[in-house]
């Protein structure tokens, strides 16, 4: 059985007559041209190889799809288990958060009550201290007001004395200048 017989079995029925005619012509022509026969043989082998290629590819694709489905089922189960575990952890965290929130509210209420108790007693003591300080401050405030009044009077007196000293110095300077001029005028005459 040669390559032509192999190819004849894969040629569709509607092309069989044409194939037989062309193959007879190639055999006759190929007796004088062996390179052409080698070329036809390569093309024939390629045709025979590719004849079952779609079926082989379909098998490979099917095997890959089956492997993917199996891996997908396995991964899906693992993902579901992880999600359930994460959900349980989340529920635990949420319960802990609620308990913490309740505890914080309780602590805040107790803290507020303790502060009111402590500050109530401290507030009474502070009022008593402030009243005592007010009583002590009244005489001191009066003394400071007197001191301020005396200091203002002292500044006024100091200002008057300074003006008087300036006026006396000016008058004395004027008298001395007049006296010098009179003595100088008397000396010259």
Closest C-alpha among 42, 39, 70, 52 to residue 10: 52
Distances (CA, A) of 174 to 60, 61, 97, 169, 186: 134, 132, 98, 8, 18
- Answer whether residue 10 shows pLDDT above 70: yes
| Secondary structure letter of residue 102 according to DSSP | H
Domain boundaries, the chain: 3-79
Most confident of 20-29, 41-50, 133-142, 163-172: 163-172
What is the reported pLDDT for 1?
Answer: 54
pLDDT tens digit sequence for 36-80: 767 777 777 677 667 777 888 888 889 999 888 888 888 888 888
Rounded distance, CA 30 to CA 40, Å?
9
pLDDT tens digit sequence for 124-145: 777 888 888 878 777 878 888 8
* Cβ-Cβ contacts under 8 Å for 5 (sequence gap 6 or more): none
Rounded distance, CA 75 to CA 69, Å?
10
Q: Give me the chain's average pLDDT, please.
A: 83
Q: Give the global pTM.
A: 0.32
Distances (CA, A) of 141 to 66, 126, 138, 186: 101, 21, 5, 67
Three-point CA angle 179, 183, 185, nearest 5°:
115
């Amino acid at each position: 059985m040669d390559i032509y017989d192999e190819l004849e079995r894969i040629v569709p029925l509607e092309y069989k007559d044409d194939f037989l005619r062309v193959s007879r012509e190639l055999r006759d022509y190929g007796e004088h041209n062996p390179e052409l026969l080698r070329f036809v043989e390569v093309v024939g082998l390629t045709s025979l190889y590719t004849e079952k290629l779609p079926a082989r590819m379909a098998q490979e694709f099917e095997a890959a799809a089956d492997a993917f489905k199996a891996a997908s089922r396995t991964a899906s189960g693992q993902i579901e288990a992880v999600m359930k575990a994460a959900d349980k952890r989340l529920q635990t965290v949420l319960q802990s958060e609620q308990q913490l929130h309740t505890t914080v509210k309780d602590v805040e209420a107790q803290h507020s009550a303790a502060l009111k108790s402590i500050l109530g007693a401290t507030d009474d003591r502070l009022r008593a201290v402030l009243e005592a300080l007010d009583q002590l401050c009244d005489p001191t405030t009066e003394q400071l007001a007197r001191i301020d009044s005396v200091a203002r009077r002292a500044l006024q007196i100091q200002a008057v004395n300074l003006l008087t000293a300036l006026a006396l110095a000016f008058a004395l300077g004027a008298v001395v200048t007049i006296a010098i001029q009179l003595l100088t005028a008397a000396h010259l005459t």
